[in-house]
Structure 1
Amino acid sequence: MEIGLPKEIKDQEFRVGLSPASVQSLCQQGHQVFVETHAGIGAGFPDEDYLQAGAKIVTTSDQAWNRELVVKVKEPLPAEYGLLQSGQLLFTYLHLAADRTLTEQLIQTNVSAIAYETVEVTLPDRISLPLLTPMSVIAGRLSIQFGARFLERQQGGRGVLLGGIPGVKPGKVVILGGGVVGTEAARIAVGMGAQVTILDINVERLSYLETLFGSRVELLYSSSRHLEQVLPTADLLVGAVLVPGKRAPILVSRALVQKMAAGSVIVDVAVDQGGCIETLHTTSHTDPVYEAEGVLHYGVPNMPGAVPWTATQALNHSTFPFVAKLANHGLKALEKDAALQKGLNVYQQRLVHPAVQQVFPDLAA
């Protein structure tokens, strides 16, 4: 199969859909991989690495897109809509619940679109999202790293050191959601010495988090009352809410944001699914924060793009087995792999993923 690997064009998105190691494996299986020049340079993979792996380097984006299977990291942007082709297989993060325009474009162009974030593996005790997890781990850890930076006075923040020092109390971090993102955010915040609170509606998850953190983290059931109690004293609020395939629910109203201290910081990792903070909108790595109600808001949807060397390899470790199945079997791979089947969002000019159908019911017909 011919596989295209375009260069990402999202603002400061330096990740790449396939590492040279993944490309080498695909070429050894008899596939042809067409890599847009400099697609991997931001992640530390020059064209020479791809050539040595057996790929062909192409000079324009349309030469990479004009293939049976296109592997990316982020969703197609408007400048790429014209490159979508009927019958093409697209494998990437899509987050369609937050983007009606892209959803319509994929339907109109008859692309078979499989979203990393909805590939689902059913385990005995839980549902796993194997292609979302590695980036969630990175985003969770980065949320504290970025939050700590923007709390610095020179960045417009309160001037709070999250870890405090002897004689001065530490900063307070409030995390909405105890899933992968929330857990990793708490891990870093605790390591820095911050005072940490996690809110979640899953009591079993809270019990599990107690086994991880013990008394070092305050664990609360997520309710309006508890939010009203903890937010006014938060120096850093991290939104870590995930409803697979759906838009994130708004948990923090503008009125609650107004009660937060001036110069405090909000980092909403859920922004790629619409965000869970009423006052938050999408930002970019180039212009990451803005002030609303006296609070700094960080809403970059591709946070792991800040650490592309780490993130590309972590993502490829999870995506490659599925890429190989698509390369070897095409759409028939979905019949052989239930997890991959659940990743299918758009097929034969129809929106087919149940969760996204609930967001755009008129596109499901």
Structure 2
Amino acid sequence: MSGESLDPILFQDKGVLTQEERLAVLQSSKKLFIGIPRELFSEENRIALTPSGVKSLVENGHSVVIEKDAGLNSHFTNEMYENAGAEISSNSDEVLSHSVILKISPPSEKELRKIKPNSTIFSALQINTLSAESLEIIQKKKIVACAYDFLKDNENKYPILEVLEEISGLASVFLAAQFLSSDNRGKGMLFGNIYGIPSSKMSIIGTNQAALSAAKHALNLGVSVSIFDKVVSGLRTISTQLSSQIQTGIYNSEMFKSSIKSSDVIVATSNAHNLKDIIISEDLIKQMKPGSVVIDLTLDRGGCVETIELQPKTNPYVKHDVIHYGMYNLPSNYAQTASIGINNVLVPLLMQIGVDGHIEHALRLNDGLRDSVFSYKGLVTNERVARWFKKRYNDIRLLMY
């Protein structure tokens, strides 16, 4: 139950006993056995480690087994991984038998049944698509499940989440510029400061890294940018980072509604976990100028544009004379860039886990890694996951023994 205070506990076959808290003991380095299966989701093109990352891990004494062709969609060949020191396997069961599993999409129920008990998994969470059955298997096998969504660095930031948001924000500007062209039934407008021609207008919803990235690159192209959010502190921060070159406003104000109607491009990046109160209504979309563009980067959380279709026949598509584009996984379209970004976070982390000697010791010593764990030894250790699946929440800090 959320907010309950728990005593440190010791797991035993006969039950759970109260145990005195112990100080972390320095352990000798330990070899990691890492398996990277091929992604099963057809639209997932990324891979967790690049050949360069594999080379660094292997040279430091770790073992990496990669399923055949797992990196092809990121343009990393089997030969590149073999040259880096990885073993290539055509047997997914063998890959999934390793003690540390690296994925992009959450493991499927089929994969989870093959993964050994007490293994460690790193992947995205994607709570909207994670099934209750998958969580039950994770708990039953006492898998340490770490989500990129919650992984923090030493500065208390979310390094993987932020690099993917940065890619999404930049990509949204390129896509908007493309969709505005006459060939795509857009307004026939071009981003840029061209003398005597008014600048294009863009409204951004949210103040996360995707919003910052989109605003920064749009401003560099001469676009007039307005940013809206529910939280004033977020607006203040992003305005400071952009040297006040933007207009800011509160979501759902009259200024917001006016900006939506007059904008050539809308980019929805909202960083809220619950988007029910952050919706661009169909009525507002109807009042936009014909040929304008709406891009929703929040589909993984249900979307925040009322007219965005979750599974359109074509993408982009036109509705109410406005071009719509929404995608669950935009960074996957830029798979090599995204894979390098994920690799750059995971390699130092895995190196440190090896130095610490074991995932258990690493969890004691690394607050950011500990925050990424949503299931530990059969218990749900993330409040959001616990609420979503109506499970009891357990504070992982009190479970370290």
Shared fold (TM-score, shorter chain, > 0.5): yes
Alpha-carbon distance in structure 2 between the residues aligned to 1:10 and 1:210: 38
Correspondent of 1:357 among 386, 389, 394: 386
Change (3 A) 1:44 1:222: same
Structure 1 distance, partners of 2:219, 2:242, is 9
2:280 and 2:135 mapped to 1: Cα distance? 32
The aligned runs of 1:1-365 (5 Å cut-off) are 1-76=32-107, 80=111, 83-96=114-127, 98-101=128-131, 103-110=132-139, 111-121=143-153, 123=155, 127-163=156-192, 165-214=194-243, 216-243=245-272, 246-249=273-276, 250-282=278-310, 287-326=314-353, 328-362=357-391
Residues 62, 278 of structure 1: alpha-carbon distance in 2 compared, 3 angstrom cutoff: farther
Distance in 1 between residues matched to 2:382 and 2:254, nearest whole Å: 34
Q: Deviations over 1:137-178 (max 9, x none)?
A: 111111111122122232243333233743332321110112
CA distance in 2, matches of 1:176, 1:299: 14
Q: Is the 8 A contact 1:239 1:268 kept in 2?
A: yes
**Offset at 1:4?**
0.9
Secondary structure of 1:356's aligned partner:
helix
How big is the shift at 1:183?
0.8
CA deviation after TM superposition for structure 1 residue 326, in Å = 4.4
Query: Normalized per residue, which structure has more helix?
Result: 1
1:307 match: secondary structure? helix
Change (3 A) 1:107 1:263: farther
Which consecutive unaligned segments of at least 5 residues does structure 2 have?
Answer: 1-31, 395-401
More off after superposition, 137-146 vs 354-363: 354-363
Deviation of 1:9 (Å): 3.5
1:251–1:22 CA distance, 2 compared to 1 (3 A):
same
Distance in 2 of aligned mates of 1:83 and 1:169: 59
Residues 175 and 8 of structure 1, relative CA distance in 2, 3 Å threshold: same
> 1:88-124 CA deviation, whole Å, 9 max, x = no partner?
321011121x2252x541333434321111113474x
Query: 2:117 & 2:80 partners in 1: Cα distance?
Result: 31
Per-residue CA deviations over 1:161-208 (Å, capped at 9, x if unaligned) read 233743332321110112211111001111121121111233344334
Q: Bigger CA drift: 332-341 or 138-147?
A: 332-341
Q: Distance in 1 between matches of 2:319 and 2:385?
A: 30
2:66 alignment partner AA = V
Give 3-state SS (helix, strand or coil) of 1:216's partner. coil
**Higher relative contact order structure (alpha carbons within 8 Å, sequence separation ≥ 6):** 2
CA–CA separation in structure 2 for the residues paired with 1:287 and 1:330: 44
How many angstroms does 1:77 deviate by? 5.0
SS in 2 for 1:226: helix
**Bigger mean CA offset, 191-200 vs 152-161:** 152-161
Q: TM-score, normalised by structure 1?
A: 0.87
Structure 1 pair 148/63, CA: closer, same or farther in 2 (3 Å)?
farther
Task: Find the aligned partners of 1:283 and 1:190 in 2 and give their Cα distance.
Answer: 31
Superposed displacement of residue 5, structure 1: 0.9
Structure 1 vs Structure 2 CA RMSD = 2.7
Give the 3 Å change call, closer, same or farther, for CA 27–287 of structure 1 in structure 2: farther
Question: What amino acid sits opposite 2:251 in the alignment?
Answer: S
Letter in 2 for 1:148: A
Identical columns (%): 28
Aligned partners of 2:35 and 2:275: how far apart in 1? 31
Give CA deviations for 1:285-341 in whole Å, capped at 9, x if unaligned: x95323344433222222122222222212211222223344541244222211111
- Give 2:27's aligned residue: none
Report the counterpart of residue 14 of structure 2 in structure 1: none
Decide whether the 8 Å contact of 1:27 with 1:33 is kept in 2. yes
- Structure 1 segments unaligned to the other structure (5+ residues): none
Native 8 Å contact 1:151 1:160 kept in 2: yes
Q: Give the deviation of 1:349 after TM superposition.
A: 4.0
8 Å contact kept, 1:237–1:267: yes
